[in-house]
Amino acid sequence: MSFKFGWVYKLVWYKMQRLRATAIRLYSHHLGKKTLLASSFAVPPLSKRPRLCDRFPALIRNMSTSVSTSGAKEFVVSENTFQQEVLLSSVGDLHGGVVVNVEQPLDSMVFAPMLKASISHWTQQGKRGVWIKLPIQQANLVEAAVKEGFRYHHAEPDYLMLVYWIPEATDMLPANASHRVGIGAFVMNSQREVLVVQEKNGQFKGTGLWKFPTGVVEEGEDICTAAIREVKEETGIETEFVEVLAFRQSHKSFFRKSDLFFVCMLQPHSFDIQKQTSEIEAAQWMPFEDYAAQPFVREHEMFNYVAKISKAKSENDDDVAGFSPLSTTTSTGKKCSLYFSRDLKHLVTRDSKQRQEG
C-alpha cells in the first residue's frame, strides 16, 4: 500500500509542477543567488523527483522577488525552492505601457496564469496599455489572451498583435493603420501619346477601359519609387519620376480602410512595351485626346478631373506646378520624403545653400 500511495504522491506533485509552470533551476551570478526566469520551462523526469511529502514545506517558504534591469521579472529563490508564479517578460514603451514579445514556445495552460499574474503586476505598477506580439506559430495563445480582455489590433503575415487597456479611464491606444496608399502613373512621350493599360483582373476587367498604370505602395516604399516600379512591372517601360500632380482621398475603400491615391507624372526613358502577362490584358501608347475621349473618362467625374489636370500639365508645364519630393529626415533621424509645390523650390534651394555656407 505504501508503495502505491508513494507513486500517487509523485504523480500529484508532477501535475502540480506542470500546471504552475515551474521550471528547472537555472544557476546565475545575478545578485549572487539562483534565479528562475519566465523563458525557462522544463520539467525534470519523474524518476528524479523527490516525494511530494518531502518537498511540500519548501513550496511555501523563502520566496522573494526582484526586478531585472531589462524589465523582465525574475523570481529569486533559495536552493531546493520553486516559485509558484512567473511573469511574462516585457519592455516599457514611450507611453507608459508595456510590450510583450512572445519568442519562446508556450503552452496555453502555462501562458494563461502567467498573463493573469502579469496583468496584476502591471496594474500595480500603474502601466496603461499592454501590447502582446504573438508569432503565427503561437496562435494557440489567442484564446487565453482574449479571455483576459485582450483584443485584436493588427496582423501581419508572420505575427498577430493583441492589445489591452488597463486603466478605467478612456482607452487611449492608437488604432491600426487607417489608410492604404496607391499611385496612378501619367506617362507621356514626345508625340503626346500616353501610356495606358487594360487590366486582366479587378473592377475594370472586361470593360474595355484604357487607364493609367496603377498600383499599391509597398511597406517602406516611397511614393515616387512605387510609381516607377509599377510602370516597369506592368509595361516594361523605364521612367523617371517628375512630380505628384494631384491626390485623392476616399473612405471605406478596402476592408473599411480609407484610401490615398497619388497621381504621379513620370518621364519615359524607354518606349518598347513588354506587358505583364499575369495582370495586364493589353498595353499601348495612345494619343492623349483618344484617352480623354473614352466614355468612361468623360462620364466619371474623378477620371475626368485627372485627365484635365494631366492635359494642363502637359501643355503648360511652367504654369502648372505639382509636388516634388525632397529627401530629408524626421526629428528622430529617420529618412523621409517631403513633397512640396515646385513654386516653393527657390525657398528650399536658398535654405540648402545657407546651410552649406554655415
Residues with catalytic function: 233
Cell of 295: 466614355
d(CA 226, CA 172): 33
- For residue 33, the one-letter residue type is K
**Looking at the chain, how many residues does it have?**
358
Nearest to 43 by CA among 65, 66, 11, 90: 11
Only one residue has cell 493573469, namely: 116
Q: How far is CA 120 from CA 90, 97, 126, 173, in A?
A: 14, 14, 10, 19
Q: CA–CA distance from 327 to each of 222, 227, 337 (Å)?
A: 10, 17, 5
For residue 136, the one-letter residue type is: I
CA distance 335 to 318: 30
* Burial track 118-138 (b if 16+ CB lie within 10 A, e otherwise): bbebbeeeebbbbbbbbeeeb
Q: How many CA atoms lie within 13 A of 121 on its CB side?
A: 20
